[in-house]
Structure 1
Amino acid sequence: MRGLPSTQAMTKLVLISRDFDMSHLIPSIHRAAPELEVTLHGHENASDAEVAVCWNPPTGAIAALPRLRLVHSIAAGVDNILTDPSLPRVPVCRVVDPQHARGMSEFVTWAVLHFHRQLDRVISNQREERWFRPPQQDPSTCSVGVMGLGEIGSRVATDLHRLGFSVRGWARRARDLQGVETFEGSQGLEPFLQGTDILVCLLPLTDETRGILNARTFNALRPGAKLIHVGRGEHLVPEDLLRALNTERIGGAIVDVFPNEPLPRGDAFWQAKNMIVTPHMASVASADTIGLQVAENVRRLVNGEALHNAVDVTRGY
């Protein structure tokens, strides 16, 4: 990454988040482009920033920047930005970490093995001081369904297939993945679910996918199916999952993303039956990757060049 030319010395960035301390990104941005001026939301003179670098910004915070030219997410997801009805009509970009798909695949593989090797049952037995060795099943007997077959979902599905699992995938449009049975569109959703033992959600958040992890979806799965949710928090209808776990319609869940984060103390999910709560950790871009990609897009913005990883705001990704 080459340094920013001196003509960009006065470009100001503001880091904006409702509930996440973004100050750790300042050194990484400065390492990539020492000439940039970086400040935090709420600090003096932050309102004259031209670039907003965001994660879950407060509603209206971005619109309060009169000189704004670019909004940049610090992650692959931008739904936490696009839900703001006052969002100005400026380009929106996201971070695409080349290691993101690998990290997500590692996490999902662990989660699938947790259920396939019945480690959830082993952990429960330990609490009861019960010695029981679950039978070892061939992975081909376990059908893993991946919702969302973009770059990350395709990597996850392909890696699980290589491990010997029976893998199926569902997406908005038809996809062709070697060794993976694929379904598409609303007409393909129910057949996809009906043959799934472990459901993995890796969908983008759109109007069509919001709330898709609901009672109807859970009831379409094989009885006792497991859920691995690493998509977006708003995919999930919390009360429907809690009910499905309590009735054992869903036999277990690993949930990494929630409609409200961080998950508050006292939330029913903390003590939900056969559920593991993880703190939105499945795969996270490094601070240096964020710094490099934000700095490069600032350079491109000032020079009038095409931006990297620009978002189609009508599609939401």
Structure 2
Amino acid sequence: MNLMFISNEDRADQWRDNLTALLPDLNFYVWPDDQAVDPATIDYVLAWKPAPGIIKRFPNLKAILSLGAGIDGITCDPELPIDKPLVHLVDRSLTQGMVQFALYWVLHFHRQMGTYQKFAEARTWRQLPQAEVDACRVGILGFGELGQAVGSALAAQHFDVAGWSRSPKQIAGITSYAGAEALPGFLGRSDMLICLLPLTPETEGIIDAALLAALPRGAIVINLARGRHLVDADLLAALDSGHLSAAVLDVFYNEPLAAEHPFWAHEKVTVTPHIAALTSPRSGADSVAANIERIERGETPLNLIDLARGY
């Protein structure tokens, strides 16, 4: 078996060590160092943000394997061969990281830790009234695998959790909203909105002025999906008007976020550098190796992407 690794953002050596330990018969090549290898012999591409046209050089691929939970780092290639199976990465470490990050920020706001930090800086001893946890309504915009994992963790802490997705889901302790007609009702009950949508042409720019206006006054937006879901100017306007009370942004339209971007200095915005959920070569290799083994046995890989839907 021959695999070509294509990424400038991931550690090829760590992926090689972990994958070849699991798949001793795997020949692991790295682009562009190994571009002299006959492209017709490459069975798999493991990639993130390849330059346009690279993947189509390999005519006999059994699958294209994404290094990320999303696939926008693959579908960004305008010359991507659409006749090859495309598989996204489901990594237990990445999922755990996303759950931890989301839970941290929901608890941060629910327990008013930002205000208490200001009290501490002013050496002020003051206790605030604390709302019951089941009165805090959290909405998860995008209820796929990551959204369901986050929702289940929040529901286990007794938050009032709802999830919105294209099709209905049945997850214990969580209210499901599905389809465009259900979106206004979902937004209207979401005191905290966590975006975990896949990035598709339909979801790009979805967090705009109209969506934000449908949230309750004082709502909080937490974007952990992709920066292109958010219309930056509309979020800033909603914060400045007082309609939103805060935002946590881990992803941005352009990354790294430019030093002059107003998000950095806005008192209601917390910026983190796309670290909510990082892919681990150690745990990620387990998922990649398992799918390669399935394909080699003639089975359908897990986490196969429907390119028509974009996820």
TM-score, normalised to structure 1's length? 0.86
| Alpha-carbon shift at residue 197 of structure 1 (Å) | 0.9
| Alpha-carbon shift at residue 240 of structure 1 (Å) | 1.9
Q: Distance in 2 between matches of 1:132 and 1:62?
A: 59
Q: Distance in 1 between matches of 2:305 and 2:64?
A: 10
Q: What stretches of structure 1 move > 6 A for 4+ residues in a row?
A: none
Q: Compared with structure 1, are the counterparts of its residues 292 and 155 closer, same or farther at alpha carbon in structure 2 (3 Å cutoff)? A: closer
Worse overlay, 157-166 or 122-131? 122-131
Pairing 1:53–2:46 present: yes
Q: State the partner residue of 2:20.
A: 30
Q: State the partner residue of 1:282.
A: 276
Task: Choose which of 300, 307, 311 in structure 2 pairs with 1:313.
Answer: 307
Q: Compared with structure 1, are the counterparts of its residues 157 and 44 closer, same or farther at alpha carbon in structure 2 (3 Å cutoff)? A: closer
Q: Distance in 1 between matches of 2:49 and 2:128?
A: 43
Q: State the partner residue of 1:87.
A: 80
Q: Compared with structure 1, are the counterparts of its residues 309 and 169 closer, same or farther at alpha carbon in structure 2 (3 Å cutoff)? A: closer
Q: Structure 1: where are the runs of 5+ without partners?
A: 1-7
Q: Compared with structure 1, are the counterparts of its residues 236 and 18 closer, same or farther at alpha carbon in structure 2 (3 Å cutoff)? A: farther
SS at match of 1:271: coil
**Equivalent pair of 2:7/2:50 in contact (CA under 8 Å):** yes
SS at match of 2:264: helix
Q: State the partner residue of 2:159.
A: 165
Q: State the partner residue of 2:224.
A: 230
Percent same amino acid among aligned pairs?
Answer: 36
Q: State the partner residue of 2:177.
A: 183
Q: Compared with structure 1, are the counterparts of its residues 306 and 263 closer, same or farther at alpha carbon in structure 2 (3 Å cutoff)? A: same
Task: Choose which of 113, 130, 147 in structure 2 pairs with 1:119.
Answer: 113
CA RMSD across the alignment: 2.5
Q: Distance in 2 between matches of 1:299 and 1:159?
A: 31
Q: State the partner residue of 2:56.
A: 63
Q: Structure 2: where are the runs of 5+ without partners?
A: none
Worse overlay, 14-23 or 285-294? 14-23
- What letter matches 1:81 in structure 2? I
Pairing 1:72–2:65 present: yes
Q: Compared with structure 1, are the counterparts of its residues 278 and 154 closer, same or farther at alpha carbon in structure 2 (3 Å cutoff)? A: same
Q: Distance in 2 between matches of 1:51 and 1:182?
A: 37
Q: Compared with structure 1, are the counterparts of its residues 64 and 270 closer, same or farther at alpha carbon in structure 2 (3 Å cutoff)? A: farther
- What letter matches 2:186 in structure 1? F
Q: Distance in 2 between matches of 1:162 and 1:98?
A: 19
| Alpha-carbon shift at residue 210 of structure 1 (Å) | 1.7
| Alpha-carbon shift at residue 99 of structure 1 (Å) | 4.9
Q: State the partner residue of 1:3.
A: none
Q: Distance in 1 between matches of 2:203 and 2:75?
A: 15
Q: State the partner residue of 1:296.
A: 290
Q: Distance in 1 between matches of 2:31 and 2:253?
A: 23
**Equivalent pair of 2:101/2:276 in contact (CA under 8 Å):** yes
Q: Over residues 142-187 of structure 1, what are the superposed CA-to-partner deviations in whole Å (9 max), with x where a residue is unaligned?
A: 2111112223322322332232222222221223334333322111
Q: Compared with structure 1, are the counterparts of its residues 50 and 216 closer, same or farther at alpha carbon in structure 2 (3 Å cutoff)? A: same
Q: Over residues 67-87 of structure 1, what are the superposed CA-to-partner deviations in whole Å (9 max), with x where a residue is unaligned?
A: 544210122211221232210
Q: Distance in 2 between matches of 1:91 and 1:37?
A: 20
Q: Over residues 3-34 of structure 1, what are the superposed CA-to-partner deviations in whole Å (9 max), with x where a residue is unaligned?
A: xxxxx3xx2x2222254444432211221123
- What letter matches 2:274 in structure 1? H
Worse overlay, 144-153 or 96-105? 96-105
Task: Choose which of 234, 237, 243 in structure 2 pairs with 1:249.
Answer: 243
| Alpha-carbon shift at residue 200 of structure 1 (Å) | 1.1
- What letter matches 2:145 in structure 1? E
| Alpha-carbon shift at residue 55 of structure 1 (Å) | 1.8
Pairing 1:260–2:250 present: no
Q: State the partner residue of 2:267.
A: 273
Q: Compared with structure 1, are the counterparts of its residues 309 and 166 closer, same or farther at alpha carbon in structure 2 (3 Å cutoff)? A: closer
Q: Distance in 1 between matches of 2:122 and 2:238?
A: 24
Task: Say how many residue pairs are matched.
Answer: 307
Q: Distance in 2 between matches of 1:255 and 1:170?
A: 20
Task: Choose which of 25, 40, 64 in structure 1 pairs with 2:30.
Answer: 40
- What letter matches 1:74 in structure 2? L
Q: Distance in 2 between matches of 1:28 and 1:14?
A: 15
Q: Compared with structure 1, are the counterparts of its residues 119 and 44 closer, same or farther at alpha carbon in structure 2 (3 Å cutoff)? A: same
| Alpha-carbon shift at residue 59 of structure 1 (Å) | 2.7
Task: Choose which of 1, 14, 21 in structure 1 pairs with 2:4.
Answer: 14
Q: Distance in 2 between matches of 1:204 and 1:70?
A: 20
